[in-house]
Amino acid sequence: MTALDALLDATRALGATMAYREARWQAELLLAHALGVSHTHALARLDETIAPEISARYTANVARRAQHEPLAYILGRREFYRLDFIVDRRVLIPRFETETLVELALNVARKITLPTIVDVGTGSGAIALTLAHHLLDARVIALDLSRDALDVARMNAARLNLESRVAFLESDLLARFTGAFDVLVANLPYIPRERFARLPREVRAFEPRLALDGGADGLDVFRRLLAQIEMRAARNAVAFLEISEEQGSAALEAVGRILPQCVATLHHDLEGLARVVEIQMREA
């Protein structure tokens, strides 16, 4: 079997669950993964015969994708903010919209000398490690309740040569963080529980529920963190919390009630959807 034969078979198999163009693109990425080469190099080798073990691995991975397993988990990686991260079923797959939170945090942190940055619920470490990569003088602490997630985050730190730049701590929100932050970032679970069953299968069946389920209205964890922020904030600290696009008003109301002395601002992502709540701490 040539690589082209295998690619055409894979495209047909994936075409049953998605549009042809997307099926072809994903089949090409899975072929490159099976061959252990770049996408460009895989396309240059379509006339070559592929070894039986490679063909078997490719077929198995295509079958996984046809069963809606996320492509990122099969490939074992996901690009975020132009960096490459290891991902597997222990962590949420980084999303493009979260880059809005990173941009906001970078803009603020660059104006602070030796900033202390805390990433709450770090997961794969994508946010914390991206900030550390771009802020050479920052002290970054990444927190997560999941020991498995922290293992993945540490692997990413090693892969990006950032092990000495980011400290990892198992913690329920800020419970075990004892310092003071200048900038706090968090992409917390924010899916309302009643909506969970309606999520796409590749999300609800494969990604960790702990990183998704935000309680009755999706803001349970958000409110818990708000109640902890003030005691761990440095003077004039800023927090950036990601939310779902329909939660803007409710999130601002929660900030106003729990942190009435703070100034809250709602930011939108590149699609114009409410995405990040900025909280500027103020002295009482």
* pLDDT for residue 91: 98
pLDDT for 202: 94
What one-character-per-residue DSSP string does 205-245 give?
A: TTS-GGGTB--SSS-HHHHHHHHHHGGGEEEEEEEEEE--T
Are 145 and 247 contained in the same domain? yes
Report the helix count and the strand count for the chain, using DSSP H and E: 11, 9
pLDDT of residue 81: 97
Shared-domain flag, residues 94 and 213 = yes
Consecutive H or E run containing 80: strand 77-80
Range of the domain at 252: 88-280
Number of domains the chain is built from: 2
In the block, tokens 């892969």 appear at 159
pLDDT at 164: 96
Per-residue pLDDT, 245: 94
Structural domain ending residue among the three candidates 67, 96, 118? 67
Q: Residue 136's pLDDT is what?
A: 96
Do 11 and 119 reside in the same domain of the chain? no
Q: Are 76 and 86 in contact (CB under 8 A)?
A: yes
Helix (H, G, I), strand (E, B) or coil at 51: coil
Whether residue 94 is found in the same domain as residue 207? yes
Smallest Cα–Cα separation from 131: which of 190, 80, 91? Answer: 80
The whole-number pLDDT of residue 257 equals 97
Q: Does 162 lie in the same domain as 198?
A: yes
Residue ranges for the chain with pLDDT beneath 50: none
pLDDT at 283 (0 to 100): 64
Using CA atoms, how far apart are residues 194 and 216, in angstroms rounded to an integer? 7
User: Model pTM?
Assistant: 0.94
Average per-residue pLDDT for the chain: 96
Whether 11 and 110 map to the same domain: the answer is no
What's the rounded Cα separation, in Å, for the pair 20 and 256? 48
Please indicate, yes or no, whether residues 97 and 168 belong to a single structural domain of this protein.
Answer: yes
Are 122 and 47 members of one domain? Answer: no
Please say which residue of 17, 32, 67 terminates a domain.
67
Q: How many Å apart are CA 170 and CA 142, to the nearest integer?
A: 9
Residues 102 and 205 in one domain: yes
Same domain as 226, residue 145: yes
User: Which residues are 279's β-sheet partners?
Assistant: 239, 264
State pLDDT tens for residues 122-164.
999 999 999 999 999 999 999 999 999 999 999 999 999 999 9
Does residue 80 form part of some domain?
no
